[in-house]
Structure 1
Amino acid sequence: MSRRSGEPPHHRNLTCYVNYGCRLPECADRYREWNRNRATAKRAGQWQPHVDAEPVRHHLRKLEEHGISIRQAATLAGVGARSLHPLFTRPIRHTVRPEIAAAVLAIDPEQATPTRIDATGTARRIEALVADGWPMANLADHLGVYRSYVHALIRRHEDGQKILASTAAKVAAGYDHLAGKRPAKHGIKQRQIKQARNLAASRRWAPTSYWATRMDVIDDPDFEPLYGVTRREIIAQDAAWVMRTTGLDRHATAQRLGVDKSYLDHAFRDHPQYAVEVAA
């Protein structure tokens, strides 16, 4: 193997002696001790040389495609992350200890992939805390996630994306700790509290008091919270569905819903996004 130029990155293992020609006394002693141990192991028939690192590197890349970082892979394999990082950082390591290779290659990406679940309950918990007056920026520390990720979790729910079950568990634990508590008593300024509540009100996010009696459905994506929705809007929604699916006119639809036609007309006028017209 040709010698590399420049200073060795460190003096903790044989790399500096073998690859960089380092001859510091402690590094030379380390190399001689390694040779003695190798000779002893060979005589005892216990010597196992390093193996090609490329299959390990390829498997780690495959694991990353499944959402498993190098650090997570090291944990699953029961080895230190420092033993895997040199496979990707310069100077690239081309061999690896056989026991490390075997442990990494034994990781099944399908079974080791972090569990992902529906984000509905996580988003609702965050929204409820915001409705209580907790700014998203201040929720991060309580929920155990990065600040930018708090809002991202809501976006992921809106986009129909799933999230890690471990993240959902963190948010649920933080929610249980904060639900019903007053943000002002935890150092949140009134201006921030008002801004958070205004944001929640503009998006009709239900507060923790709403969910207190509905915790059995907070994670249910099929349950539609009607917090902040007036009876008139509910009638408009129901009428729109009835008219589209049955072809009934407004008068017949109003009768089916148990309201006067004038009430239905007002409901559609107040909520034109639901207004439906059908042929007489």
Structure 2
Amino acid sequence: MTTADRQPPHHNNLTCYTDYKCRLPECVERYNAWGRERGRAITNGTWQPLLDAEPVRQHLLNLHAAGITIHRVARLTGMQYRSVRNFTQHDYGNAAPRRRRVTREVAEKLLAITVEEHTPGHVSPVGTLRRFRALAAIGWPTLHTARRAGLHPSNRNSMFRYETIRATTAQRVAEAYDEMRHQEPARHGVSATSIKRAKLQAERGRWAPPAYWDETGAIDDPDFEPMYGLTRREIIAQDAHWIMTTLNVGRAAAAERLGVSKAYIDHAFRDHPQYAVEAAA
């Protein structure tokens, strides 16, 4: 199997040269100019090495919690969406790890986006719903979460029927979540029966706990599809279904793409018939 050369998404920075091997004259000159500038800065003792990206990551997560999405940050800064997203989550499509280092220029650009200046009036309810469910997974009934967030208990389910909720509501839930996730429900008046019931509800619904969302960094991303609680066989069944229906290929071709045997896909479809595609060899 041969691997085709990847094409750069744009030619606005050094990545087209360093990551995509672009050799357009203007891109080569941009890279050489950067090298000359770096050399002079090192000689003069003014060269600024890359910075730790963790403060940027935390800032972006705080913006997310307040309703300022990665998409909006990208638009406000003029950066590529994927470049911003890579600070908070692993880029599985390109097998790139989460960003650990950042230039001072990029850090300053992202840190300049403030909650006070850019918070919208309404936001997607996805992150708020996931926070309710994540707390349930560690034993917090949704009733207690609503009360801690200063919400009327009767609103804890009805508000998710709408496409958006108030940004202030999302922020209150995010603040309660940050506190409650580190506390034991039993020490705050929650009965053993209620804790057990909340955990059972979360288990049945495959609701991911806070640790899972820490790992993905995508609790507020409505485009992120959580895989928590799925077995490898179910994931293969889902992926095979997508490949076969989207590309109109058979099981053998899907198996080759997924790096498994055709028999494995047969077993995956047998165990998860809701994804089975009957067309194919």
Band the TM-score falls in, shorter-chain normalisation: 0.5 to 0.7
Q: Is residue 251–residue 280 contact of structure 2 (8 Å, CA) maintained in 1?
A: no
Post-superposition offset of 1:279: 5.2
Q: Is residue 135–residue 177 contact of structure 2 (8 Å, CA) maintained in 1?
A: yes
In the other structure, the counterpart of 1:242 is 243
Tell me, yes or no, if structure 1 residue 149 matches structure 2 residue 155.
yes
Tell me, yes or no, if structure 1 residue 177 matches structure 2 residue 187.
no
Tell me, yes or no, if structure 1 residue 213 matches structure 2 residue 219.
no
Q: Is residue 131–residue 177 contact of structure 2 (8 Å, CA) maintained in 1?
A: yes
Give the TM-score, by structure 2 length: 0.55
Q: What is the alpha-carbon distance in structure 1 between the residues aligned to residue 222 and residue 128 of structure 2?
A: 11
In the other structure, the counterpart of 2:278 is 277
Post-superposition offset of 1:205: 0.6
* DSSP-derived class of the 2:154 partner: helix
Q: Is residue 132–residue 197 contact of structure 1 (8 Å, CA) maintained in 2?
A: yes
In the other structure, the counterpart of 1:30 is none
Tell me, yes or no, if structure 1 residue 132 matches structure 2 residue 153.
no
Q: What is the alpha-carbon distance in structure 1 between the residues aligned to residue 247 and residue 214 of structure 2?
A: 37
2:196 is aligned, of 191, 194, 197, to 194
Q: Is residue 122–residue 171 contact of structure 1 (8 Å, CA) maintained in 2?
A: yes
In the other structure, the counterpart of 1:233 is 234
Identity among equivalent pairs (%)? 52
Describe the superposition over 1:96-149 as per-residue Cα deviations: whole angstroms up to 9, x where unpaired: xxxxxxxxxxxxxxxxxx811111111111110111111112222211101111
Q: What is the alpha-carbon distance in structure 2 between the residues aligned to residue 140 and residue 118 of structure 1?
A: 18
Q: What is the alpha-carbon distance in structure 2 between the residues aligned to residue 242 and residue 269 of structure 1?
A: 17
Post-superposition offset of 1:192: 0.6
Q: What is the alpha-carbon distance in structure 1 between the residues aligned to residue 236 and residue 129 of structure 2?
A: 27
Q: What is the alpha-carbon distance in structure 1 between the residues aligned to residue 224 and residue 141 of structure 2?
A: 26
Describe the superposition over 1:210-236 as per-residue Cα deviations: whole angstroms up to 9, x where unpaired: 11233x321111111111011111100
Q: Is residue 146–residue 156 contact of structure 2 (8 Å, CA) maintained in 1?
A: yes
Query: Larger deviation: 247-256 or 261-270?
Result: 247-256
Post-superposition offset of 1:151: 2.0
Q: What is the alpha-carbon distance in structure 2 between the residues aligned to residue 197 and residue 179 of structure 1?
A: 14
Give the TM-score, by structure 1 length: 0.55
In the other structure, the counterpart of 1:259 is 260
* DSSP-derived class of the 1:124 partner: helix
> Which contiguous aligned blocks of 4+ residues in structure 1 show a shift greater than 6 angstroms?
none
Describe the superposition over 1:38-83 as per-residue Cα deviations: whole angstroms up to 9, x where unpaired: xxxxxxxxxxxxxxxxxxxxxxxxxxxxxxxxxxxxxxxxxxxxxx
Matched length: 162
In structure 1, stretches of 5+ residues that fail to align are 1-113
Q: Is residue 128–residue 208 contact of structure 1 (8 Å, CA) maintained in 2?
A: yes
Kindly report which structure 2 residues correspond to 1:9-88, keeping only aligned pairs within 5 A, or say none: none
1:118 is aligned, of 114, 124, 128, to 124
Q: Is residue 236–residue 275 contact of structure 1 (8 Å, CA) maintained in 2?
A: yes
In the other structure, the counterpart of 2:168 is 166
* DSSP-derived class of the 2:123 partner: strand
In structure 2, stretches of 5+ residues that fail to align are 1-119
